[in-house]
Amino acid sequence: MDDPNPDPTATQHPHTARGTLPAFTPVPRLRERSNGWKPQVQRAFIEALADTGSVASACRQVGRAEVGAYLLRRHPEAASFRAAWQAALDLGMQRIEDVAMDRALNGVEVPVYSYGKLVGSRTVHNDRLLMFMLRNRAPERFAEGKPKGLNAVGKMELERLKKQWRKEWEAERNAAAGEEEAETLRSLNTKLNASYENWYAQLSPRTRAAWKEYRRLEALDREEGYLCYDDPEHELYQDPEAQWDEVDEAMPLPSPERGAGEAPEEPAEDTGPRCRSIKDEGWD
């Protein structure tokens, strides 16, 4: 039985370079923004993801940030979108396998240089890549019925994919943390604004007028660069001449009775008893 109220935002099996994607319902958005994830943008992103197999490349094609894509996937009503995302990745991996198989069969053109100059090119075939693709695409014929363990090429590709997945996971985690922090700040700002409005609503007309005048004068002081330390009428004013007087009191001048070049008097010689030494005259 046909649905009497079909969803106008649901996709109708978009066609890509890799085949047909399953239908999905775009994630609903609260506001329409020029740079937002509108339904048509979500469809274009899924199609690009199926063609490239890369989230970053798909985001570049639709002109959106990766952070927004991961946030969209985490939306509570994004179950259909997440299923389409996974299907697009499966198609993208098939494309990567096709490219690898094409290189294994037809080789890669490598430039040839002689004395620093380009003189031509040659086709290089990668037999290891060819065997890897055969063992994984036809394991019953080339790997005794089961996929064979990764060789050097497969391990390098796996390490590259691990780094890419790690980067995508960190981007998704950071986006979630940033969104949570932003939501907390928005909640606090909302509460502060509500508290301020409630406080202001209870003021009398003359208090409101005084408050507006205070805000005007405060803004005027800020524009003029007012400093309380430079205002003689302020209790925190610091007089520069008074500061120099305090320095003079802390460091008094020498007495005028003594000459400027006269050395200080030496203490009187002690005339008390002392021990005789070998150097004393008349020592027997």
Tell me the residue length of the chain.
284
Q: Is residue 220 part of a domain?
A: no
- Which of 169, 192, 215 corresponds to the end of one domain? 192
Q: Are residues 19 and 62 in the same domain?
A: yes
For 94, 100, 142, 148, the CA distances from 132, given in Å and listed in that order, are 15, 10, 9, 8
The residue segments making up the domain with residue 55 are 8-93
Q: Is residue 74 part of a domain?
A: yes
Q: Are residues 18 and 89 in the same domain?
A: yes
Q: Is residue 249 part of a domain?
A: no
Show the beta-strand stretches assigned E in the chain: 15-16, 19-20, 108-114, 117-124
Average pLDDT of the residues in 43-52: 90
- Which of 192, 224, 255 corresponds to the end of one domain? 192
Domain count, the chain: 3
Other CB atoms within 10 Å distance of the CB of residue 21: 21
Q: Are residues 116 and 165 in the same domain?
A: no
Instruction: Check residue 254 and give its pLDDT.
Output: 62
Distance CA 172, CA 3 (A): 36
Q: Is residue 87 part of a domain?
A: yes
Q: Are residues 131 and 75 in the same domain?
A: no
Q: Is residue 217 part of a domain?
A: no
Distance CA 171, CA 27 (A): 20
Q: Is the pLDDT of residue 147 over 90?
A: no
Q: Is residue 135 part of a domain?
A: yes
Instruction: Work out the percent of the chain whose per-residue pLDDT is above 90.
Output: 12
* 3-state DSSP assignment of residue 233: coil
**9 or 118, greater pLDDT:** 118
Listed range (121-135, 177-191, 211-225, 264-278) with the worst mean pLDDT: 264-278
Distance CA 101, CA 57 (A): 22
- Which of 149, 181, 214 corresponds to the end of one domain? 149
Q: Are residues 66 and 25 in the same domain?
A: yes
Q: Are residues 20 and 82 in the same domain?
A: yes
For 2, 82, 177, 184, the CA distances from 189, given in Å and listed in that order, are 48, 33, 18, 9
Within 8 A by CB and 6+ apart from 49, the residues are 55, 58, 85, 88, 89, 92
| Mean pLDDT, rounded, of the chain | 76
